Structure 1
Amino acid sequence: MNPILRQRLVGALVLIALCVVFWPIVFVESVDQQPIELRPTPQRPDIDRSPLAQPQSPEATIRERVKPPEIDRESQMQADEMTRLVDGESDSNLSELNAVDSVQKLELRDAAPIVPVLDAAGYPQAWVLQVATVSSESRAKTLVEQLVDKGYPAFHARFARDTVVQWRIQIGPKFEKESFESIKSEVDRVLKVKSMVVRYQQPL
Protein backbone atom coordinates (compact mmCIF):
# COMPACT_ATOMS: atom_id res chain seq x y z
CA MET A 1 0.00 0.00 0.00
CA ASN A 2 1.14 3.53 -0.77
CA PRO A 3 2.60 5.11 2.40
CA ILE A 4 0.77 8.39 1.74
CA LEU A 5 -2.58 6.56 1.40
CA ARG A 6 -1.84 4.62 4.58
CA GLN A 7 -1.14 7.85 6.51
CA ARG A 8 -4.40 9.37 5.26
CA LEU A 9 -6.40 6.29 6.33
CA VAL A 10 -4.83 6.37 9.79
CA GLY A 11 -5.54 10.08 10.09
CA ALA A 12 -9.16 9.58 9.07
CA LEU A 13 -9.59 6.84 11.71
CA VAL A 14 -8.10 9.08 14.37
CA LEU A 15 -10.48 11.92 13.45
CA ILE A 16 -13.47 9.59 13.56
CA ALA A 17 -12.44 8.33 17.03
CA LEU A 18 -12.06 11.90 18.30
CA CYS A 19 -15.51 12.79 16.97
CA VAL A 20 -17.05 9.82 18.76
CA VAL A 21 -15.42 10.85 22.04
CA PHE A 22 -16.05 14.59 21.97
CA TRP A 23 -19.40 14.73 20.13
CA PRO A 24 -21.54 14.09 23.25
CA ILE A 25 -19.48 16.58 25.27
CA VAL A 26 -19.84 19.42 22.77
CA PHE A 27 -23.23 18.96 21.14
CA VAL A 28 -25.36 16.96 23.62
CA GLU A 29 -27.12 19.10 26.22
CA SER A 30 -26.50 17.95 29.78
CA VAL A 31 -29.48 16.83 31.80
CA ASP A 32 -29.86 18.30 35.27
CA GLN A 33 -30.28 15.53 37.83
CA GLN A 34 -32.98 15.99 40.36
CA PRO A 35 -31.70 16.52 43.90
CA ILE A 36 -32.01 13.60 46.29
CA GLU A 37 -34.97 14.08 48.59
CA LEU A 38 -34.42 12.79 52.10
CA ARG A 39 -37.65 11.56 53.60
CA PRO A 40 -38.22 11.00 57.31
CA THR A 41 -37.84 7.45 58.63
CA PRO A 42 -41.25 5.71 58.79
CA GLN A 43 -42.61 4.71 62.16
CA ARG A 44 -42.03 1.22 63.39
CA PRO A 45 -44.92 -1.15 62.69
CA ASP A 46 -47.03 -2.31 65.60
CA ILE A 47 -46.14 -5.90 66.52
CA ASP A 48 -48.58 -8.17 68.31
CA ARG A 49 -46.51 -9.47 71.22
CA SER A 50 -49.27 -11.55 72.81
CA PRO A 51 -48.11 -15.12 73.59
CA LEU A 52 -48.82 -17.73 70.94
CA ALA A 53 -50.92 -20.76 71.74
CA GLN A 54 -49.12 -24.07 72.05
CA PRO A 55 -49.31 -26.13 68.85
CA GLN A 56 -51.73 -29.02 68.95
CA SER A 57 -50.12 -32.43 68.52
CA PRO A 58 -52.20 -34.88 66.47
CA GLU A 59 -50.45 -37.75 68.27
CA ALA A 60 -51.51 -36.42 71.68
CA THR A 61 -55.11 -36.11 70.50
CA ILE A 62 -55.12 -39.67 69.15
CA ARG A 63 -53.51 -41.10 72.29
CA GLU A 64 -56.32 -39.66 74.40
CA ARG A 65 -58.82 -41.69 72.38
CA VAL A 66 -56.83 -44.93 72.18
CA LYS A 67 -57.25 -47.30 75.08
CA PRO A 68 -54.16 -49.12 76.32
CA PRO A 69 -54.11 -52.90 75.98
CA GLU A 70 -55.26 -54.98 78.91
CA ILE A 71 -52.49 -56.15 81.27
CA ASP A 72 -52.69 -59.03 83.71
CA ARG A 73 -50.62 -57.33 86.41
CA GLU A 74 -50.95 -60.15 88.92
CA SER A 75 -49.62 -62.78 86.49
CA GLN A 76 -46.85 -60.44 85.37
CA MET A 77 -45.69 -59.77 88.94
CA GLN A 78 -45.71 -63.50 89.62
CA ALA A 79 -43.60 -64.13 86.52
CA ASP A 80 -41.12 -61.43 87.58
CA GLU A 81 -40.60 -63.17 90.93
CA MET A 82 -40.40 -66.71 89.50
CA THR A 83 -37.80 -65.79 86.87
CA ARG A 84 -35.61 -63.41 88.90
CA LEU A 85 -31.89 -64.11 88.52
CA VAL A 86 -29.54 -63.17 91.36
CA ASP A 87 -26.97 -60.47 90.56
CA GLY A 88 -23.49 -61.83 89.98
CA GLU A 89 -24.73 -65.30 89.15
CA SER A 90 -23.05 -66.75 86.05
CA ASP A 91 -25.12 -67.34 82.92
CA SER A 92 -22.53 -69.50 81.20
CA ASN A 93 -24.88 -72.50 81.39
CA LEU A 94 -26.79 -71.02 78.45
CA SER A 95 -24.15 -72.66 76.27
CA GLU A 96 -25.89 -75.96 77.15
CA LEU A 97 -29.15 -74.70 75.65
CA ASN A 98 -30.23 -76.76 72.67
CA ALA A 99 -31.02 -74.92 69.43
CA VAL A 100 -34.67 -74.08 68.92
CA ASP A 101 -34.84 -76.28 65.79
CA SER A 102 -34.04 -79.39 67.82
CA VAL A 103 -36.34 -78.37 70.68
CA GLN A 104 -39.34 -77.23 68.66
CA LYS A 105 -39.39 -79.43 65.58
CA LEU A 106 -41.40 -78.36 62.57
CA GLU A 107 -44.53 -80.45 62.19
CA LEU A 108 -47.41 -80.33 59.75
CA ARG A 109 -50.55 -78.84 61.26
CA ASP A 110 -53.78 -80.81 61.33
CA ALA A 111 -55.86 -77.69 61.97
CA ALA A 112 -55.76 -74.07 60.92
CA PRO A 113 -54.06 -71.56 63.24
CA ILE A 114 -56.34 -70.03 65.80
CA VAL A 115 -57.82 -66.61 65.15
CA PRO A 116 -56.33 -64.06 67.60
CA VAL A 117 -58.79 -62.99 70.28
CA LEU A 118 -59.19 -59.23 70.74
CA ASP A 119 -59.35 -57.70 74.19
CA ALA A 120 -61.71 -54.91 75.25
CA ALA A 121 -59.33 -52.27 73.80
CA GLY A 122 -59.20 -54.02 70.43
CA TYR A 123 -55.68 -55.43 70.68
CA PRO A 124 -55.00 -59.07 69.72
CA GLN A 125 -54.10 -61.26 72.67
CA ALA A 126 -50.54 -62.45 72.15
CA TRP A 127 -48.32 -64.32 74.60
CA VAL A 128 -44.66 -64.39 75.55
CA LEU A 129 -42.54 -66.77 77.59
CA GLN A 130 -40.77 -64.84 80.34
CA VAL A 131 -37.51 -66.61 81.07
CA ALA A 132 -35.60 -64.18 83.30
CA THR A 133 -35.75 -60.93 85.24
CA VAL A 134 -32.50 -59.06 85.88
CA SER A 135 -31.48 -55.68 87.29
CA SER A 136 -28.71 -54.98 84.75
CA GLU A 137 -29.34 -53.88 81.18
CA SER A 138 -25.97 -55.22 80.03
CA ARG A 139 -26.79 -58.63 81.49
CA ALA A 140 -30.22 -58.54 79.83
CA LYS A 141 -28.62 -57.79 76.44
CA THR A 142 -26.12 -60.63 76.92
CA LEU A 143 -28.87 -63.13 77.73
CA VAL A 144 -30.91 -62.01 74.74
CA GLU A 145 -27.89 -62.35 72.43
CA GLN A 146 -27.22 -65.87 73.70
CA LEU A 147 -30.85 -66.89 73.21
CA VAL A 148 -30.99 -65.36 69.72
CA ASP A 149 -27.78 -67.21 68.78
CA LYS A 150 -29.62 -70.43 69.61
CA GLY A 151 -32.55 -69.42 67.41
CA TYR A 152 -34.97 -68.22 70.10
CA PRO A 153 -36.88 -65.00 69.22
CA ALA A 154 -35.89 -63.27 72.47
CA PHE A 155 -35.99 -59.60 73.46
CA HIS A 156 -35.69 -57.55 76.64
CA ALA A 157 -38.16 -55.03 78.03
CA ARG A 158 -37.49 -52.35 80.63
CA PHE A 159 -39.87 -51.79 83.54
CA ALA A 160 -39.84 -49.99 86.88
CA ARG A 161 -41.37 -51.09 90.15
CA ASP A 162 -41.05 -49.14 93.39
CA THR A 163 -38.52 -46.80 91.71
CA VAL A 164 -36.32 -49.84 90.90
CA VAL A 165 -35.56 -50.34 87.20
CA GLN A 166 -35.33 -53.92 85.95
CA TRP A 167 -35.38 -55.81 82.66
CA ARG A 168 -37.49 -58.75 81.54
CA ILE A 169 -36.10 -61.30 79.07
CA GLN A 170 -38.94 -62.76 77.04
CA ILE A 171 -39.40 -65.05 74.04
CA GLY A 172 -42.13 -64.47 71.50
CA PRO A 173 -44.72 -63.13 71.01
CA LYS A 174 -46.99 -65.91 69.78
CA PHE A 175 -50.76 -66.21 69.49
CA GLU A 176 -50.86 -69.81 70.76
CA LYS A 177 -49.78 -70.61 74.32
CA GLU A 178 -49.19 -74.26 73.43
CA SER A 179 -46.31 -73.31 71.12
CA PHE A 180 -44.19 -72.48 74.18
CA GLU A 181 -44.41 -75.90 75.84
CA SER A 182 -41.20 -77.43 74.45
CA ILE A 183 -39.28 -74.15 74.72
CA LYS A 184 -40.36 -73.69 78.35
CA SER A 185 -39.08 -77.13 79.37
CA GLU A 186 -35.68 -76.51 77.76
CA VAL A 187 -35.24 -73.02 79.24
CA ASP A 188 -36.28 -74.15 82.72
CA ARG A 189 -33.80 -77.01 82.57
CA VAL A 190 -30.85 -74.82 81.62
CA LEU A 191 -31.55 -71.55 83.47
CA LYS A 192 -32.87 -73.29 86.59
CA VAL A 193 -35.92 -71.03 86.64
CA LYS A 194 -39.67 -71.47 86.36
CA SER A 195 -40.45 -69.59 83.17
CA MET A 196 -44.01 -68.43 82.76
CA VAL A 197 -46.27 -67.62 79.83
CA VAL A 198 -47.75 -64.14 80.27
CA ARG A 199 -49.72 -61.70 78.16
CA TYR A 200 -47.58 -59.74 75.72
CA GLN A 201 -47.50 -56.06 76.63
CA GLN A 202 -47.56 -54.24 73.31
CA PRO A 203 -45.50 -51.00 73.51
CA LEU A 204 -47.42 -47.84 72.62
Structure 2
Amino acid sequence: MALLDRGLRQRIVGALVLLALAVVFLPMLFSRPDEARDVQVVAPAMPEPADSLIVTPEPVEPLDIPPLQAMPEHAAESVVPVVEQEPPVVAEVPSSQAPLASDTPVAGLDEAGLPRSWSVQLASLASREGAEALQQKLRAQGYNAYVRSFEGKTRVLVGPVIEKTEAERLRAQLKRQLQLDGFIVRFQPERN
Protein backbone atom coordinates (compact mmCIF):
# COMPACT_ATOMS: atom_id res chain seq x y z
CA MET A 1 0.00 0.00 0.00
CA ALA A 2 1.41 3.30 -0.95
CA LEU A 3 1.90 6.07 1.51
CA LEU A 4 -1.16 8.25 1.85
CA ASP A 5 -0.67 11.73 0.66
CA ARG A 6 -0.62 14.53 3.18
CA GLY A 7 -4.05 15.94 2.32
CA LEU A 8 -5.78 12.59 2.79
CA ARG A 9 -4.16 12.11 6.21
CA GLN A 10 -5.35 15.56 7.35
CA ARG A 11 -8.91 14.73 6.25
CA ILE A 12 -8.91 11.46 8.20
CA VAL A 13 -7.58 13.15 11.37
CA GLY A 14 -10.17 15.94 11.02
CA ALA A 15 -12.99 13.40 10.63
CA LEU A 16 -11.83 11.57 13.79
CA VAL A 17 -11.74 14.84 15.76
CA LEU A 18 -15.27 15.75 14.60
CA LEU A 19 -16.51 12.28 15.51
CA ALA A 20 -15.00 12.58 19.02
CA LEU A 21 -16.61 16.00 19.53
CA ALA A 22 -19.96 14.62 18.43
CA VAL A 23 -19.72 11.76 20.94
CA VAL A 24 -19.01 14.23 23.74
CA PHE A 25 -21.47 17.03 22.95
CA LEU A 26 -24.48 15.32 21.27
CA PRO A 27 -25.76 13.71 24.50
CA MET A 28 -25.74 17.15 26.11
CA LEU A 29 -27.87 18.60 23.34
CA PHE A 30 -30.49 15.88 23.51
CA SER A 31 -30.89 15.63 27.29
CA ARG A 32 -34.12 16.94 28.75
CA PRO A 33 -34.27 19.44 31.64
CA ASP A 34 -36.61 17.19 33.63
CA GLU A 35 -33.88 14.56 33.71
CA ALA A 36 -31.66 16.82 35.81
CA ARG A 37 -31.22 15.47 39.25
CA ASP A 38 -32.41 17.53 42.16
CA VAL A 39 -30.16 17.04 45.19
CA GLN A 40 -31.39 18.34 48.51
CA VAL A 41 -29.34 18.47 51.67
CA VAL A 42 -31.34 18.23 54.86
CA ALA A 43 -29.50 19.62 57.87
CA PRO A 44 -30.91 20.44 61.29
CA ALA A 45 -31.43 24.09 62.14
CA MET A 46 -28.75 25.86 64.13
CA PRO A 47 -29.58 25.64 67.84
CA GLU A 48 -30.28 28.76 69.83
CA PRO A 49 -27.56 29.71 72.35
CA ALA A 50 -28.30 28.71 75.92
CA ASP A 51 -29.14 31.51 78.34
CA SER A 52 -26.31 30.39 80.63
CA LEU A 53 -23.77 31.11 77.88
CA ILE A 54 -24.88 34.67 77.29
CA VAL A 55 -22.90 37.02 79.50
CA THR A 56 -23.94 40.58 80.07
CA PRO A 57 -21.40 42.77 81.84
CA GLU A 58 -22.55 44.64 84.89
CA PRO A 59 -20.99 47.88 86.09
CA VAL A 60 -18.69 47.56 89.09
CA GLU A 61 -18.95 50.05 91.89
CA PRO A 62 -15.76 51.16 93.66
CA LEU A 63 -15.31 49.89 97.22
CA ASP A 64 -15.35 52.39 100.04
CA ILE A 65 -12.34 51.35 102.15
CA PRO A 66 -11.38 53.57 105.08
CA PRO A 67 -7.69 54.44 105.47
CA LEU A 68 -5.59 52.40 107.89
CA GLN A 69 -5.48 53.68 111.43
CA ALA A 70 -3.01 53.09 114.22
CA MET A 71 -3.86 50.23 116.55
CA PRO A 72 -5.18 51.34 119.94
CA GLU A 73 -2.94 50.52 122.90
CA HIS A 74 -5.48 48.27 124.59
CA ALA A 75 -5.83 46.18 121.38
CA ALA A 76 -2.10 45.38 121.38
CA GLU A 77 -2.54 43.44 124.63
CA SER A 78 -5.08 41.09 123.03
CA VAL A 79 -2.80 40.07 120.13
CA VAL A 80 -1.85 36.38 120.26
CA PRO A 81 1.93 35.91 120.09
CA VAL A 82 3.29 33.91 117.15
CA VAL A 83 5.15 30.77 118.18
CA GLU A 84 7.96 29.84 115.86
CA GLN A 85 8.32 26.15 115.11
CA GLU A 86 11.65 24.45 114.87
CA PRO A 87 12.57 23.18 111.41
CA PRO A 88 12.28 19.41 110.94
CA VAL A 89 15.42 17.41 111.64
CA VAL A 90 16.92 15.93 108.48
CA ALA A 91 19.48 13.16 108.74
CA GLU A 92 22.63 14.02 106.81
CA VAL A 93 24.17 11.35 104.63
CA PRO A 94 27.95 11.50 104.27
CA SER A 95 28.97 12.45 100.73
CA SER A 96 30.88 9.18 100.30
CA GLN A 97 27.62 7.24 100.78
CA ALA A 98 25.34 9.53 98.75
CA PRO A 99 24.71 7.99 95.32
CA LEU A 100 24.77 10.24 92.28
CA ALA A 101 21.23 10.18 90.91
CA SER A 102 22.17 10.73 87.27
CA ASP A 103 19.33 8.51 86.03
CA THR A 104 16.57 10.41 87.79
CA PRO A 105 15.83 14.02 86.84
CA VAL A 106 15.88 16.43 89.75
CA ALA A 107 13.46 19.34 89.61
CA GLY A 108 14.01 22.70 91.23
CA LEU A 109 16.92 25.02 91.72
CA ASP A 110 20.58 24.32 92.38
CA GLU A 111 22.75 25.87 95.08
CA ALA A 112 23.23 29.06 93.03
CA GLY A 113 19.46 29.50 92.66
CA LEU A 114 19.55 28.58 88.96
CA PRO A 115 17.35 25.89 87.42
CA ARG A 116 19.03 22.49 87.39
CA SER A 117 20.04 21.68 83.85
CA TRP A 118 21.97 19.16 81.77
CA SER A 119 24.67 19.14 79.09
CA VAL A 120 26.17 16.52 76.80
CA GLN A 121 29.93 16.11 77.21
CA LEU A 122 31.47 15.08 73.90
CA ALA A 123 35.22 15.19 74.54
CA SER A 124 37.93 15.85 77.11
CA LEU A 125 41.11 16.95 75.36
CA ALA A 126 44.60 17.84 76.56
CA SER A 127 44.88 20.51 73.85
CA ARG A 128 42.79 23.66 74.36
CA GLU A 129 43.19 24.50 70.65
CA GLY A 130 41.71 21.13 69.64
CA ALA A 131 38.80 21.63 72.02
CA GLU A 132 38.11 25.11 70.65
CA ALA A 133 38.28 23.78 67.08
CA LEU A 134 35.65 21.13 67.94
CA GLN A 135 33.57 23.82 69.64
CA GLN A 136 33.65 25.98 66.47
CA LYS A 137 32.70 22.96 64.32
CA LEU A 138 29.70 22.25 66.58
CA ARG A 139 28.63 25.91 66.59
CA ALA A 140 28.82 25.96 62.78
CA GLN A 141 26.35 23.03 62.83
CA GLY A 142 23.97 25.09 65.01
CA TYR A 143 24.72 23.54 68.42
CA ASN A 144 25.26 25.58 71.60
CA ALA A 145 28.78 24.25 72.31
CA TYR A 146 31.08 25.48 75.06
CA VAL A 147 34.37 24.45 76.69
CA ARG A 148 35.34 24.07 80.35
CA SER A 149 38.79 23.42 81.81
CA PHE A 150 39.05 20.80 84.54
CA GLU A 151 42.16 19.15 86.02
CA GLY A 152 44.41 20.04 83.09
CA LYS A 153 41.93 18.87 80.44
CA THR A 154 39.55 20.90 78.30
CA ARG A 155 36.06 19.48 78.01
CA VAL A 156 33.76 20.15 75.06
CA LEU A 157 30.05 20.23 75.98
CA VAL A 158 26.76 21.01 74.24
CA GLY A 159 23.83 22.51 76.11
CA PRO A 160 22.57 23.27 78.64
CA VAL A 161 18.99 22.04 78.50
CA ILE A 162 16.47 22.03 81.37
CA GLU A 163 15.01 18.54 81.01
CA LYS A 164 17.14 15.40 81.16
CA THR A 165 15.00 13.76 78.49
CA GLU A 166 15.82 16.69 76.21
CA ALA A 167 19.54 16.09 76.92
CA GLU A 168 19.10 12.42 76.00
CA ARG A 169 17.49 13.44 72.68
CA LEU A 170 20.36 15.87 72.06
CA ARG A 171 22.92 13.12 72.77
CA ALA A 172 21.20 10.76 70.33
CA GLN A 173 21.03 13.51 67.67
CA LEU A 174 24.76 14.28 68.05
CA LYS A 175 25.60 10.59 67.72
CA ARG A 176 23.36 10.18 64.65
CA GLN A 177 24.41 13.37 62.82
CA LEU A 178 28.07 13.83 63.80
CA GLN A 179 29.04 10.32 65.04
CA LEU A 180 30.08 11.84 68.39
CA ASP A 181 29.21 9.58 71.33
CA GLY A 182 28.88 11.72 74.44
CA PHE A 183 27.39 11.33 77.88
CA ILE A 184 25.02 13.42 79.96
CA VAL A 185 26.39 15.54 82.81
CA ARG A 186 24.91 18.16 85.13
CA PHE A 187 25.49 21.69 83.86
CA GLN A 188 27.89 23.65 86.03
CA PRO A 189 28.01 27.44 85.55
CA GLU A 190 31.48 28.76 84.87
CA ARG A 191 33.24 29.89 88.02
CA ASN A 192 35.65 32.83 87.91
User: What band does the TM-score fall into relative to the shorter chain?
Assistant: 0.3 to 0.5
Of Structure 1 and Structure 2, the greater helix share is in 1
Higher relative contact order (CA 8 A, sep 6+): 1
